[in-house]
Every structure is written in structure tokens, then in C-alpha cells.
């Protein structure tokens, strides 16, 4: 029995190290879990040290089937203000939009109605078998165990639907075309910051540099091949009210943005 106990302890220790969610929880790092539905998605950012969750929700059109769950998860994480360069964003795919009210009822009510706990456990246990997630059974168990200790007062919810059209468009319609970014605002490193965000959303940014003069107003330019690329660039930068201008200039890029003094760089941090 001693050997069996030792073996179980070693196996548990190995699991804590080998599986990414368990490793993050063991070190006190945040866990980012995207719950991806057909018409809506939610990003749950769990802070294990303080036992709280930042929940970001968004409504969106049905995603294209050739866009993977990891791509959608990263786009949602970027929209919520995360830096995607070295981020771990785990995902679960559901058939409908995530319903946080169901989560609220389960977390707040399972102690009084144990059936809610077992129903939730059965649902989580079936995620891997149904192919809805790439998480291991052990990681699913760890997340479920941690969440079962919370109640919904631990959640802070932010609705991203109003802001999300750009990121969802980038995630749902495939890799974006080549674009150029020019800083005409006079502010340092603005082109580099905008390029970083666009690349996180899948855009192929071939130029990120200073413009030859200061411009008061931001402009979006579309080159040959129609306005589709310019419209996607405009949405990704939160510039939906801005008119796209057609340019006769020849360029290897499909669109360009000239960031003027009026550009709100807070958009880049969302």
C-alpha cells in the first residue's frame, strides 16, 4: 500500500508539471479559458491567487469552419486586452452561445441542490470525449475543482459586443491581407503598437513606420482589389465611422492606415 500511495503521489506530481492548466494553477498564474459558441463566445480569465474571474462576452456571426478554435480564442483574448505573443489561451467549443446565467445558477446553487454539481461535472467530463476541447481530462478536473469553490460574486463581467466586430472579423474570415501602418500623429512608437495588435489578429503588416508629416485626422486607404481589406483594417482598429478612401497609388499592400493626431491608442490595449 505504501508503494501504491507513493506511486499515486508521484503520478499526481508529474501531472501537475506536465499539463499546462495544472502547471499554471500550481504556479499561481492566470488561466485563460475561451468558451466558443456559434453566435457568441466568452473569455474567462481566472486569477487563482485571489479566486476571481474576469469574464468577457461577445456576440458575433457564425464563424467560418476553416478557422480553428485556437485562432478564435487568441482573437478573443486580444480583444479583451491580452498580449498574444506568449499567451496560453485554452478553448472549449459549445453548440450555442455561452450562458453565464446558467453558470451563475450552478455556482450559487449547487450546495443547496447537489444535482447541479453532478450535472455540471458530467458536462465537463464529456467535453474531451466529444472533441469540444484539447484540454486533458486532468486539466478539466483541475479547472472544475477550482471553479466549484467560487460563487458568482467572484465574477466581473464585461460585454465586448460593441467593440468586437474587428477582432471577430479577423478570426472568422481567415488570415487578413497585407497592410501598411504609418504614424502621422507625432506620438512615439504608435505605428509599432498598432502593427503588433494587427499581427495578433492575423494581419500581414509589411510596413510600420513614421509618416513624412503630421496629420490631424486618421485615414484608411484601399488599394487595388476592392475595399474588403480596408474595411477589415478599419474594423480591427475600431474606426468603423471612418470613410475608406480609394487610392490610385500602386502598392504591394491591399490597404493602409495613416494614424493621425485624433487616433485613440487606447483601442490597441483592449
Confidence at residue 208, expressed as pLDDT on a 0 to 100 scale: 92
Do 28 and 112 reside in the same domain of the chain?
yes
Confidence at residue 169, expressed as pLDDT on a 0 to 100 scale: 45
Domain of residue 260 covers: 175-269
Residue 231: give its domain's CATH number: 3.30.70
- Reading the block at residue 190, the C-alpha cell is 504608435
How buried is residue 48: exposed, middle or buried, by Cβ count under 10 Å (0-12/13-18/19+)?
middle
Confidence at residue 84, expressed as pLDDT on a 0 to 100 scale: 56
Q: How far apart are the first and last CA of the chain?
A: 53
Residue 21 to residue 33: CA distance in whole angstroms = 10
Query: Which of 176, 159, 168 lies closest to 228, judged by CA?
Result: 176
**49 lies in a domain?**
yes
Do 52 and 125 reside in the same domain of the chain?
yes
Confidence at residue 167, expressed as pLDDT on a 0 to 100 scale: 44
Confidence at residue 190, expressed as pLDDT on a 0 to 100 scale: 93
Has this prediction a pTM greater than 0.85? no
Do 224 and 101 reside in the same domain of the chain?
no
Do 151 and 132 reside in the same domain of the chain?
yes
Do 146 and 244 reside in the same domain of the chain?
no
Do 132 and 22 reside in the same domain of the chain?
yes
Residue ending a domain, among 108, 133, 165, is 165
Do 150 and 242 reside in the same domain of the chain?
no
Average pLDDT per block of 10 residues along the chain, 270 residues long: 40 54 86 90 90 87 79 82 72 86 83 87 86 87 89 83 44 64 93 88 88 93 78 83 81 90 81
Query: How many domains does the chain fold into?
Result: 2
Count how many Cα atoms sit within 13 Å of the Cα of residue 43 in the half-sphere of its side chain: 27
Do 135 and 220 reside in the same domain of the chain?
no
Amino acid at each position: 500500500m505504501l508503494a501504491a500511495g507513493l506511486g499515486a503521489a508521484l503520478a499526481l506530481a508529474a501531472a501537475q508539471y506536465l499539463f499546462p492548466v495544472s502547471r499554471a494553477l500550481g504556479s499561481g498564474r492566470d488561466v485563460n479559458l475561451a468558451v466558443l459558441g456559434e453566435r457568441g463566445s466568452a473569455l474567462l480569465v481566472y486569477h487563482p491567487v485571489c479566486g476571481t474571474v474576469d469574464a468577457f462576452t461577445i456576440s458575433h456571426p457564425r464563424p467560418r469552419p476553416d478557422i480553428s478554435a485556437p485562432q478564435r480564442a487568441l482573437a478573443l483574448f486580444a480583444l479583451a486586452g491580452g498580449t498574444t505573443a506568449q499567451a496560453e489561451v485554452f478553448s472549449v467549443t459549445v453548440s450555442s452561445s455561452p450562458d453565464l446565467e446558467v453558470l451563475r445558477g450552478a455556482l450559487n446553487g449547487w450546495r443547496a441542490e447537489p444535482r447541479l454539481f453532478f450535472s455540471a461535472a458530467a458536462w465537463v467530463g464529456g467535453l474531451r470525449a466529444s472533441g469540444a476541447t484539447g484540454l486533458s481530462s486532468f486539466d478539466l478536473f483541475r479547472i472544475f475543482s477550482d471553479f466549484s469553490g467560487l460563487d458568482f460574486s467572484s465574477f466581473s463581467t464585461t460585454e465586448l459586443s460593441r467593440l468586437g466586430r474587428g477582432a471577430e472579423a479577423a478570426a472568422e474570415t481567415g488570415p487578413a491581407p497585407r497592410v501598411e501602418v504609418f504614424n502621422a500623429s507625432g506620438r512615439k512608437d504608435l505605428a509599432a503598437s498598432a502593427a503588433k495588435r494587427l499581427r495578433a489578429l492575423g494581419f500581414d503588416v509589411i510596413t510600420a513606420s513614421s509618416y513624412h508629416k503630421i496629420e490631424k485626422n486618421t485615414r484608411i486607404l484601399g488599394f487595388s482589389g476592392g475595399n474588403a481589406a480596408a474595411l477589415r483594417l478599419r474594423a480591427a482598429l475600431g474606426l468603423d465611422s471612418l470613410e475608406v478612401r480609394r487610392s490610385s497609388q500602386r502598392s504591394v499592400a491591399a490597404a493602409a492606415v495613416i494614424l493621425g493626431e485624433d487616433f485613440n491608442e487606447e483601442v490597441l490595449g483592449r
